[in-house]
């Protein structure tokens, strides 16, 4: 699946995005998914408008088309790049970062 994601310009996940978001972003591919966060997996939080993808209005095809156009414009304008997609993963979703978060939480409990 990785090579296909890496060759893609945009990953569209019309349902629950889950780990597909993480895979896409680490390969440098932005993600477009819906904005009904109650129907999403926690990984949707890694997507940031104009940086690593976009959110369309749940169940609204016109909104999806608009967000795909917006995402493509962001790519052409270099607001969304492979590095902006990867940066959130490298910043918040590494073992080192998670260890720091866990360490701070444990320290607060003492």
Residue 32 sits in a domain whose CATH number is 3.40.50.2000
pLDDT one-digit tens code per residue, 61-88: 999 999 999 999 999 999 999 999 999 9
Using CA atoms, how far apart are residues 12 and 61, in angstroms rounded to an integer?
A: 12
Tokens representing 38 are 């109650």
Q: What is the count of structural domains for the chain?
A: 1
**What range defines the domain where residue 43 resides?**
2-109
* 34-54 average pLDDT score: 96
Contact in structure between 71 and 92 (CB atoms under 8 Å)? no
Contact in structure between 10 and 52 (CB atoms under 8 Å)? no
Predicted TM-score (pTM) above 0.85: yes
């Amino acid at each position: 699946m990785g090579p296909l994601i890496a060759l893609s310009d945009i990953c569209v996940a019309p349902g629950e995005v889950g780990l597909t978001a993480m895979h896409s972003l680490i390969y440098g591919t932005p993600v477009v998914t819906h904005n009904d966060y109650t129907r999403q997996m926690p990984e949707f939080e890694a997507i940031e408008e104009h940086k690593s993808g976009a959110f369309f209005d749940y169940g609204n095809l016109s909104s999806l088309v608009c967000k795909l156009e917006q995402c493509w414009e962001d790519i052409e304008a270099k607001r969304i790049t492979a590095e902006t997609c990867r940066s959130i993963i490298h910043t918040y979703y590494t073992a080192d970062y998670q260890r720091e978060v866990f360490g701070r939480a444990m320290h607060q409990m003492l």
